[in-house]
Amino acid sequence: MGGSSSSEQVAETETPSFFTQEELSKLKSDLETGGVENVKPLIEKKVTELNKTELNIAVTGETGTGKSTFINAMRGLRNSDDGAAKSGTTETTMEPTVYSHPSLLNVCYWDLPGIGSTRFTAAKYLTEMKFKRYDLFIIISVSRFKENDAKLAKEIKRLGKRFYFVRSKIDVDLDSMREENPSFNEEEELDKIRSDCVQKLIKAGILSPTVFLISSFKKEKFDFNQLNEELERDLKNVKKMIFVLALPNLSVKIVQQKYEILNKHIWMFATLSGGLGTGPDSSISLSSDNDVLIDAIVHFQKSLGLDDASLRRLARKAGKPVEELKATVQTPLLGKITPDAITKLSYGAAVVAISALEFAVELNPILVSTFREDSSFLMMYKVLRAALKDLTASAEIVVKIACKE
């Protein structure tokens, strides 16, 4: 695979924010001279960038390799769900077909016809399939990788793009072996399959290839999670963030990753939100037009898989009625978010308290001293932080039930 050095990857991991140092310094200066209102234009620009940045992942391979099922699995869908990519044994199109994430529409998976099913050479195929628009490429095979797969990988590398070899339907292979020999060693057979794929790719001219063995139906097994971790490592900044937020909730670990990303965005939503006050009983008093606060919580819902459509899919996976699944989390932040729903949480001063140390850790050090003086910002920050913690705890409970962790 093409790629950057390990030192570059470490630097990207350590600086997940998509603000430059110059922008952060300007934020501090503008805050000190004009307060929160003075920095809203830049924050609005960054939030828009976060919402509109597209991530395009291309999936290619010959007919019958499981491309559609893989695309559905990456979007948290089953083949029978609404909006699922249609699976079949015949190539249905000679054009790239796009499938958006069901909740985060700026994350798109593209089903490309396998090069073996077209009349194009590898180089011509790149042009016809408009490869420059894709961020990453998944090359799927169901048996062995062929010469066309290797040629395609070389052309993708020439473009400076990253590609990944995926050997699909590995569960089917193992089931067949188990039928013939119930006492076979699964790990040894997996090593043989992987080694065979790697050797054929090396013979075709691919240096040091990595092959991921996956089952799109048994995502908790084999290399499905390792593939996602590799994709995440190779993406940068905003695209890395939205990729993680779009991952299906296969484990509590993924939910916690999403929390870490969303937690870093709270201060931006707090900056853009309208004023908050407290009532005589220390409960939150919301302005009637505080759409930014509601939009932020809806964004948390969708990213954490707690919107209605995601919950229905998880309920089917768990074999439970969706209302029973919702009842296990005991939070008013499911379903439609209204000012009344937020007020019902009774996020008073004691409930949403945050220490100076926590605040300093969660907010960029350049901005801490200035924001700490703005009481309206602090109250909004605390409410959003408490709401995110509440939703994250709910998502963890739901995942444990649905995935039987």
CATH number for the domain whose boundaries are 54-243: 3.40.50.300
Residue 333, token pair as written in the block: 């932040």
* pLDDT attached to residue 332: 82
* pLDDT attached to residue 288: 41
Residue 13, token pair as written in the block: 């991991």
Report residue 266's pLDDT band, with 50, 70 and 90 as the boundaries.
confident
Express as a percent the part of the chain with pLDDT over 70. 80
* pLDDT attached to residue 59: 96
| Count of H-run helices and E-run strands, the chain | 18, 8
Alpha helices in 53-168 (DSSP H): 67-74, 122-128, 147-158
* pLDDT attached to residue 258: 96
User: Cα–Cα distance between 155 and 157 in angstroms, integer?
Assistant: 5
**DSSP annotation string for 186-229:** HHHHHHHHHHHHHHHHHHTT-SS--EEE--SS-TTSTTHHHHHH
Residue 317 has pLDDT above 50, yes or no: yes
- Span 123-134, average pLDDT: 85
By the 8 A CB rule, do 241 and 16 touch? yes
Classified as helix, coil or strand, 264 is: helix
User: Cα–Cα distance between 219 and 74 in angstroms, integer?
Assistant: 9
**DSSP annotation string for 28-41:** HHHHHHH-GGGGHH
Instruction: Give the chain's mean pLDDT.
Output: 81
Hey, where are the domains in the chain? 21-51+249-402, 54-243
- Span 121-144, average pLDDT: 87
- Span 203-221, average pLDDT: 92
Residue 146 has pLDDT above 90, yes or no: no
- Give the DSSP H/E element, type plus range, for residue 112: strand 107-113
* pLDDT attached to residue 102: 93
Residue 354 has pLDDT above 70, yes or no: no
* pLDDT attached to residue 190: 95
Residues 6+ apart with CB under 8 A from 12: 236, 237, 240
Classified as helix, coil or strand, 232 is: helix
Express as a percent the part of the chain with pLDDT over 90. 38
By the 8 A CB rule, do 108 and 57 touch? yes
User: Cα–Cα distance between 385 and 391 in angstroms, integer?
Assistant: 10
213 Rama class: left (phi>0) / alpha (psi -120 to 50) / beta: beta
- Per this entry, what is the length of the chain? 405
- List the 211-213 sheet strands across, edge first: 97-100, 107-113, 55-61, 136-141, 162-167, 211-213
Alpha helices in 119-185 (DSSP H): 122-128, 147-158, 170-180
User: Cα–Cα distance between 3 and 235 in angstroms, integer?
Assistant: 10
* pLDDT attached to residue 9: 33
* pLDDT attached to residue 215: 95
φ, ψ for residue 228 (rounded to 5)? -60, -40
Report residue 348's pLDDT band, with 50, 70 and 90 as the boundaries.
very low
Residue 71 has pLDDT above 90, yes or no: yes
Which has the minimum average pLDDT: 98-112, 212-226, 288-302, 370-384?
370-384
By the 8 A CB rule, do 205 and 198 touch? no
Residue 338 has pLDDT above 90, yes or no: no
Angle of helix 21-34 versus helix 40-52 axis, rounded to 10: 140
When comparing pLDDT for 165 and 380, which is higher? 165
When comparing pLDDT for 223 and 348, which is higher? 223
When comparing pLDDT for 286 and 122, which is higher? 122
Report residue 385's pLDDT band, with 50, 70 and 90 as the boundaries.
confident
